[in-house]
Amino acid sequence: MFAIDKNLPAKAGGPSAVVRIAHVVPHSPGYTLGPVVMTFPALAWGGSAPTWVYGGGDLWLYEWDNPGGIDLMRISATSGAVLQRVRVPKIWHPILAYNDEGLWIAASGQTSSPEALYLVAPGGTHASAVFHFAAEGFAKWVVASADDVWVNAQPRQVSDVGVVWMLRGPEAKPVWHVPESASLVQVFETLGGSGLVGDAADGLWAAPPTAYDEQQVVRIDPMSGALSIEAA
């Protein structure tokens, strides 16, 4: 586990926050905090906050506005040791996903970031741009499993219709792509970039609200992209 401390003085002024790894210990209070491994501005308007995902037995932690350098950290989920720091392009509001090919990272909103889906292979030392979003686009959501990745690509003009892609392998070769449906637009608008769960065996699922107190369950066929409403 890790902890984020806030309201510490920043070198350049204003509040900052730090990330420290927590280690479980048998005595009170049950944990100790290790050294600071990451520092970032804690200004709410900056949209800055670490993003993380577990994968391959490790915690992957990314912070785009890290004053110490833009980096992606791989931290052992068992020992808490920082195993690796990888420099990746500066990606505003990133989405992270992990599968057998490694860590996938893409921007999740209109941004000046490079418009690509990047892959950091297991043991790799750099991020490779393996899929480029059309029309200066970005990812609405990314789901990864085994050697497959599903990504909802949105052109920069949010009035344009997005496209859902299934990609396979380390080179992210397209398997199929379909225009996003109105139900999927609803998923992103209400749930953001982490709104879908699933894999190739079970399908991709989400439960977006359709009213304040009502929701529907939608499923995307992982092999065709066909969307169905399974419950409401």
Binding site for another protein (CB under 8 A): 186, 189-191, 197-199, 201-203, 205-215, 217, 219, 228, 230-232
DSSP, res 103: E
Residue 85 burial (CB < 10 Å; 0-12/13-18/19+)? middle
Place of tokens 């920069």: 156
Minimum Å gap between C-beta 230 and another protein is: 5
Residue number, 111 or 145, with CB nearest to another protein: 145
Compute, in degrees rounded to 10, the torsion defined by CA atoms 206, 171, 179, 64.
Answer: 60
Joined together, the tokens standing for residue 213 give 């107190």
Minimum Å gap between C-beta 193 and another protein is: 13
Among candidates 196, 199, 197, which has minimal Cα distance to 185?
196
Residue number, 120 or 196, with CB nearest to another protein: 196
Residue number, 26 or 212, with CB nearest to another protein: 212
Joined together, the tokens standing for residue 218 give 């939608």
Minimum Å gap between C-beta 42 and another protein is: 23
Minimum Å gap between C-beta 209 and another protein is: 4
Cβ atoms of 67 and 39 closer than 8 Å: yes
Residue number, 64 or 188, with CB nearest to another protein: 188
How far apart are alpha carbons 20 and 5 in whole angstroms? 8
How far apart are alpha carbons 81 and 93 in whole angstroms? 25
Give the total residue count for the chain.
232
Residue number, 24 or 201, with CB nearest to another protein: 201
Minimum Å gap between C-beta 115 and another protein is: 25
